[in-house]
Structure formats: structure tokens, C-alpha cells
Structure 1
């Protein structure tokens, strides 16, 4: 019998809270891909792998215990803020490579703040907006290589206080991100920055040279459009001399473009031999002056290594140092004041968890103070000028001495010496009086004046002992030699040897 009345119908009760919660959790599954650990993804303990499953969006309903989420090799082109609606507090690795990503929301990482490894490599990203990674304070490794990134906001990496490795290679970056490694603005934990294979044309060489070795060891900039220069060669050669990984591991990939019309790409290490004739690099010595304070840097390839020093003569430096040699808190060695005995080779022995390293520093102390160096140069310059002046005066005295026959102005053009007088002081190749010219030319000989004949009483020179006195010009012999005689180069007043 049918009962049309309401009393005959079964009572209807509202759904229980447990059923409502179940329906609420199932609703998001209809909006996106469903996480299926048996069909769509592979779940192994706390690892969820959805790689190569043709996903276009991130599956919802991810377990809160997920520690590693692999979404690589899919077609997820946009990472929106709501890709996860629950906090994944245990997620430390997120893999999104090879997805064709073109957009990442600035709020995409609000619910995954515990990430330590983020892989966004091999996508189609073109820019990095401001503060995009700011929530990731615990992130240690960020992979962005093989994208199309050409624009990076200066604040894009702000907040990454724990970042250790940043991979930006194989992009279209045109500016070297110096703020990431420079003092006062750099990421304190960053030990690797890879900007190789980009479009960087200007390298801040001076700033890079000033970086500590533990940063330069992991700074990779090979395969960029850098112009060749000796400064660039000096930078790379010094890094190679220190056995830094960035220069040693990729030695063949450090290239540059030659200036001029040729525009050829050559290896930077060949610039000192074949192209620009740059000076070869050698280990530089530390120079010091008496009395100054000298600090020797133990510039290691690894950060925070235990350091010990050895002085010349294999004398260890105690950790507390002494009055003149002190080991500083950062491991460097301070010498103050510098003395000559401080010259020599110092050795720094560094010990770390990964490697041990020995750094040698050669010190050469100059034998004068830094302020006195200019005085020494002035003294040397004055001495040199004095020597040159002395040489000039000697030459003037020997070759430009004026005639000393002050008794008569014309005696320097005196007549030819007499043939029978050995006291004549003439140097001439002209014939003597009464002799044929041919005989005079063959009968030359040299005679010297005996000093005894020139002395009078008490050893004084007698005025008449040296031959004839100078006569007035109007009483001279009419046969005197003319001053125009080309072979007469001396006079009777000369003190040169006599040629007869």
C-alpha cells in the first residue's frame, strides 16, 4: 500500500561533519589534476614523483609530509600563487625543470618557505621580478640555467640569506650581477655563482680582483662576449696561478674577442704569446718598508679554514703571537714594526673539511722607511748631478783652457819653435826654419822639458828658464808662423808634449 503522506517517508538527517570535511577535501581535485600515487605519480615514502606525466598544472591534494616533489618534464607553463593551498612545511626540494615555464607569481613560494633546493632550469623564463624569491630564507641551491632570462631585477634575490649556489648560465644576461658578490651587498653564504655562456660584454675586473679567493674559486664567467685585453688576461692568469677552480676547470673555455676588424675569438691564455703580447704572470712578492705595519693574507680557496703560520727559517708562529708578529682573528698575519730580519718566505697552513691548502707569501723589506724613500731618491739624484758637473768641468779644463800667456796678448799665435831648442813648446807638422818640408815631416820626435831646468833658487820657476820670453808683437821675427797655418795646433805657451 502506498503512503502518500509525509509520515510514510523515511526521515532525512543532515550530513555529518566528517562527511562534509571529506567532500571539502575532494572538491579541489575536480579543478585540477588528481594526485594518484598508483596511476599519475609515484610516491615513495616522503618523495612524490610526477615526472613525465603530461601535467599542465600542479596536482592538488599533495600530502603534507611531502619532502621532495618532482614535477620535471611536464607542460606546466605558469606557476601561480594557488598552486598549493596548504602549507607544505616539510617540502625541501621542488623540481620544475623542462616544463616551458614562462611565468612565476611573486606569491608562488609563500606556502613552501622551507625549500632548500629549487630547480627551475631548462624553461622559458625571460625575467626575474623584484622580491620573487624573498620568502625562501632557507634556500641553498637555485638552478636557473638554460632559460631566456635577460632582465633581472636588483632585488630579485633579496632575502636569500642562506643561498650558497646560484646557476644562471646559458641565458641572455648582459650585465654582470656584481651586487651578489661585492662587499656589503653580497649574499653572505654564496660560494658559487655561474654566469657563464651569457651575453656579458663588460667585466668589473678591478672589483673581481679584490674578492677573497673562496669567492673567486666558484665564480664562473667563461663563454661570454668579453673583449680581449691584458687586464682580462692578468685576471684569469692570476686565478689559474692560484689553482682556482673557475680558471683551472674551464681553461679552454675562457675566450675573448680580439679588437679591430678581425673580431676573432681566441683563448685568453694565449694573449701573452700570440696576440697582445701581455706580460706573463708570476707570483707577486709583498714589499715593505722599515717601521711600517704589514698584514699577510692567508687567502684560501675554502671559507672558514683553520690557519697556522710559519716564519722564515721554519719558525712556527704561536697562536697568541708575540710583540711584533701576531695572528689575527681572521687568520691573517700582522707584522709590526717591520725590520730587515722579517724578509723571507712565510707559509700559511690551512685545514678544512674538504681540503688542506698551503699558501706561501714572499716578503721583501726595503732598507729605508717609506717616508725616507723620497729622501734617498733626492740624494741619489743630487749625487748624479754632481758627478756630471764634475765631468763637464774636467772636459772644459782639458780642452777649452784659455791661453795663459798673460804677458802678451799675441803670444798664443807665436812664431814657430826654433830647431835647436828643446824647450820650445810647439806641436807642429810644418817644416822647421831652413829645412825642406819633406825632411821635417820625417824627422818628428817628442821632447819633454826637464823640471830641473825650470827651477831657479828655492825650487821656484825661473822666468827665463823655459826658453825665450814673449816679445811684443812688433819685435817678433818676421818669419813667425802665421795663425792660419792649418798644421799648427799649439803655441809656445802650451804645456803639452813637444813634437819636433
Structure 2
């Protein structure tokens, strides 16, 4: 009986061992494919889309080229989501999830990724060196998130990034470092910042960008503040037929702060704000100087050649007949030294295998001598105007005008006549009468016909007046009452 029991237990043990060995073979067979049961594998493509995943599955085949994890409920992308390197992975789709956190080391084991879709998530900030491990990434989709903060180093070391989509976020400040510093993203051809909260743009910095960056810089559907500089920026881009403006002309609106924040199209500011018209580019130069005209094309690596106003063709391999015009290595045309007859419209023809472009540059040449003469005449005119202003100030803003001094002189003369004609009843040189005159009250009586008729009735100190001709120097009696003082 014991022997049978041991035999039965031995049989069961071997059965379990056999089962484990078979399971191991099956697992080995499964690990060779390494495809999760919840995903769909087709050659080197793995699709785990719309599986209601809360966590990222593990054990993806090492030869995976494309991995689709979109339309799930993933919230965090940690560093251990890929426990083994996926060196062949080129496309990773994580769009339409609920991602709120992405680890800085999340992409350390996928160094050859070229396409990354993180759109339609709940990402609020792009942290320090977040994408720096993706040195070969070419396309990055981050639209339809809640991104409001972007660290300056978030896109460092991304030397091959060509397209960056940041539309439909909460960005309120234009990330100038992405386009101004050419060494940071040297291959960037498209930057979509549309449908954000940007109100102002660095106009001067944007004007200095290469044409291929302007062509792919999308800024429509932002609450931009209206002004003539904004109108000039987009109008110039429209003249150059940049896709970022031509394709979204109707969505390029701005806000009129002075008109109760009314929203209008940018191109209507020409009439609303009386902005200046924008024309083709023009360059001013002076005789004897050196001038360089850029052939700023919308694509890189294009071959440029120039046509002068005299229809002379100038290419990088040739020079003009007068040996003054040269096409530089970057396609710019240099004229050295410039002459008066070099003025006119220069045409740059840029060609490539898929695109051709023609640019026109108007060159205006001035004579330096005439310019100096103009400056001298202008200086002389300013000096004359200043002299006239000083004279007017002297005449009208001095403390005492000439007519004031005239009245003062007349009053002095009249004061002198008091002693000689009225106040002195004796000799004009009698000092005693002068002392008496200082204590008398004086009144001015205007002469009139009635007053002259009543002279005889006038009393002085209660006494009948004596003959005035005896009280004054020889002269007519009418001169006494003509603005002369009378003692009362």
C-alpha cells in the first residue's frame, strides 16, 4: 500500500515537472515573439491602441520599429516603461491619453526615435532637458495639451528636429530661443504656435529670421495686439508668399485695445490705423561703399544667381564685366566699390529640384558729396530758425518792454515839469518851495473843454486862484492842465 502511494506521488511529480517543462517551452516560444496578448503585432509594427490601458505593457520585441499606444488612459511615462533598449524604434504614438507626467529619462532607451506624438494629453509643462536624449528626432507633436511653461533647455541637443507642433496650448510668451539661436535647432523648418495665448511678438527679432523659418512659423488664432508693426510683419510675409501667412490669412486676427478690444483681421489695419504700405525690400548705399544683397530664400540649399539692372547674369562661378559684382558662397550679391550707375532692381533666381523662387531687391545709390551738402544746408537752416526764435524770445519775453520804458521816460519828464510849472510859485531854483512840494497831495486832471472853461472857479487851499501865467514858466495856460499835476 505504501509502495503504491509512493508510486502515485512519483507519477504526479513527474507530471508536474513535465507540465513545467512544457510551459517553459511555450514561454520560450512566446518570448521569441515577445508580443503582449493585448496588442497586435504585424512584423515590426506593434499596435496597442484603444485597449483601455492604465499602464504600458512590457516585453515589446527588440526589432519593433513602430509602437502605437494611442487612445488609452495612460497618465505617467516613467523611465522603466521600456526595460530593455528598443534601438530600432523610430515611431512612438502616445496621443489621446491622459499623460500629466513624463520622466526626463523616459526616452533614454529609444535613442533612434524619429517621430514622437504626445498630442491630446494633459501635459502642463516641459521640464529641463526633457527631450535632450532624442538627438535623432525629426517630428515632435505636442498640440492640444495644457502647456504653459517651457524650460529653456527642454529642446537642447535636438540637432535634427525639423517640425515642432505646439498649437492649442496655454503658451502666453513667444519662445524666441527656439528660432533665434540657430545652433539650438539648426534644422527646424516648422514651428506651429497657433491657437495659444500670445499677445505680443518680438517684431524686430522675427524680421531678422531666415526666410525658411518665417515660411514655417505659424502664429494665427492668437490674441495678438493690433499695431502697425504687426501689420508690416505679416504683410511682408504675405508679399513673399510664406505659407504660414498665405494659407491662414483669414485666421490672422488681432485685438484693437482702443476700440473696446474689438477683433479685426491684421490686413485691415492699413485703413483702420492708417499704417504705411509695405513694399519690396530696398537697400540704400553711397558711392564708394560696399553693399551686400541677400537672396533670402524659403528653402535651404538652393542655387542662386543674380540678374543686374543691365540684364547681366552673375553666378557664383562668374563675375560681372566691371569686376565689381560677386556672388558669395551663401548666395548673396556683393558690390564693391559701388557706383552711381549700379542703382536699379536686382533679381535673384533661386532654384532646387522641387522649388523655384524669384526675389527682387531695389538698390538706391546716393552721391556722398551731395549728401554732405544737404547736411550743411540743413544745419544752416536749423541755425537760422534758432536765431529767429532767440530774437522773438528777447522781444516778447524780457521783463520790461520798450513801450514800458517809454512811459517811464514820459512820467519822468512830467515829474520834472511839476517843479518848474506848478509846484513852484517862486523861482524854479528855490529849495524851500521844493521841500513844501514834497508834503503836498497831487492829483492828475485830464484836460477838457468844460474844465478849461471853469479854471477861474477852481480854488487852491480855499483861496481864489491867481493867474496861472504867474505861477508857471512863460507859456500857455492850457499846458498846465494837459496831464499835469494840480495841488489840492
Name which of 125, 148, 151 aligns with 1:150: 148
Q: Give, in angstroms, the shift of residue 3 of structure 1.
A: 3.0
CA distance in structure 2 between the aligned counterparts of 1:121 and 1:101, rounded to whole angstroms: 10
Do residues 230 (structure 1) and 228 (structure 2) align? yes
CA RMSD of aligned residues (A): 3.1
For structure 1, the 5+ residue unaligned runs are: 387-500
Task: Specify the alignment match of 2:372 in structure 1.
Answer: 374
Kept in 1, the 8 Å contact 2:148–2:169? The answer is yes
Task: Specify the alignment match of 1:350 in structure 2.
Answer: 350
Task: Specify the alignment match of 1:108 in structure 2.
Answer: 106
Q: Give, in angstroms, the shift of residue 189 of structure 1.
A: 0.5
CA distance in structure 1 between the aligned counterparts of 2:283 and 2:25, rounded to whole angstroms: 74
Kept in 2, the 8 Å contact 1:320–1:326? The answer is no
Relative to 1, partners in 2 of residues 1:205 and 1:380: Cα closer, same or farther, differing over 3 Å? closer
Task: Specify the alignment match of 1:316 in structure 2.
Answer: 313
Deviates more, 1:308-317 or 1:145-154: 308-317
CA offsets 1:274-313 (integer angstroms, 9 cap, x no match) = x211112111322211001010110101112111111122
Task: Specify the alignment match of 1:423 in structure 2.
Answer: none
CA offsets 1:314-367 (integer angstroms, 9 cap, x no match) = 211142343311111101010000001211221111112331111111212113
Query: Secondary structure of the equivalent of 1:364?
Result: strand
Name which of 236, 246, 249 aligns with 1:248: 246
CA distance in structure 1 between the aligned counterparts of 2:21 and 2:130, rounded to whole angstroms: 39
Task: Specify the alignment match of 2:135 in structure 1.
Answer: 137
Relative to 1, partners in 2 of residues 1:320 and 1:21: Cα closer, same or farther, differing over 3 Å? same
Task: Specify the alignment match of 2:36 in structure 1.
Answer: 35
Query: Secondary structure of the equivalent of 2:205?
Result: helix
For structure 2, the 5+ residue unaligned runs are: 385-488
Kept in 2, the 8 Å contact 1:285–1:363? The answer is yes
Query: Secondary structure of the equivalent of 1:181?
Result: helix
CA offsets 1:445-466 (integer angstroms, 9 cap, x no match) = xxxxxxxxxxxxxxxxxxxxxx
Q: Give, in angstroms, the shift of residue 24 of structure 1.
A: 9.1
CA distance in structure 1 between the aligned counterparts of 2:267 and 2:298, rounded to whole angstroms: 21
Name which of 279, 291, 296 aligns with 1:294: 291
CA distance in structure 1 between the aligned counterparts of 2:328 and 2:210, rounded to whole angstroms: 16
Query: Secondary structure of the equivalent of 1:252?
Result: coil
Kept in 2, the 8 Å contact 1:179–1:185? The answer is no
Q: Give, in angstroms, the shift of residue 254 of structure 1.
A: 0.8
User: TM-score normalised to the size of structure 2?
Assistant: 0.71
Name which of 250, 256, 259 aligns with 2:257: 259
Q: Give, in angstroms, the shift of residue 76 of structure 1.
A: 1.2
Do residues 363 (structure 1) and 363 (structure 2) align? yes
Name which of 263, 272, 281 aligns with 1:284: 281
Q: For 1:304-453, list aligned pairs within 5 A.
A: 304-322=301-319, 323-368=323-368, 373-379=371-377
Name which of 161, 166, 169 aligns with 1:168: 166
CA offsets 1:54-95 (integer angstroms, 9 cap, x no match) = 222222111111111111111112111111111111110001
CA distance in structure 2 between the aligned counterparts of 1:122 and 1:383, rounded to whole angstroms: 66
CA distance in structure 1 between the aligned counterparts of 2:126 and 2:382, rounded to whole angstroms: 66
Query: Secondary structure of the equivalent of 1:156?
Result: coil
Number of matched pairs: 377
CA distance in structure 2 between the aligned counterparts of 1:76 and 1:195, rounded to whole angstroms: 26
Instruction: Identify the structure with the greater helix proportion.
Output: 2
Query: Secondary structure of the equivalent of 2:109?
Result: coil
Query: Secondary structure of the equivalent of 1:251?
Result: coil
CA distance in structure 1 between the aligned counterparts of 2:196 and 2:228, rounded to whole angstroms: 22
Do residues 121 (structure 1) and 112 (structure 2) align? no
User: TM-score normalised to the size of structure 1?
Assistant: 0.69
Kept in 2, the 8 Å contact 1:34–1:59? The answer is no
Task: Specify the alignment match of 1:187 in structure 2.
Answer: 185
Q: Give, in angstroms, the shift of residue 186 of structure 1.
A: 3.8
Q: Give, in angstroms, the shift of residue 18 of structure 1.
A: 11
Q: Give, in angstroms, the shift of residue 381 of structure 1.
A: 6.4
Q: Give, in angstroms, the shift of residue 221 of structure 1.
A: 1.1
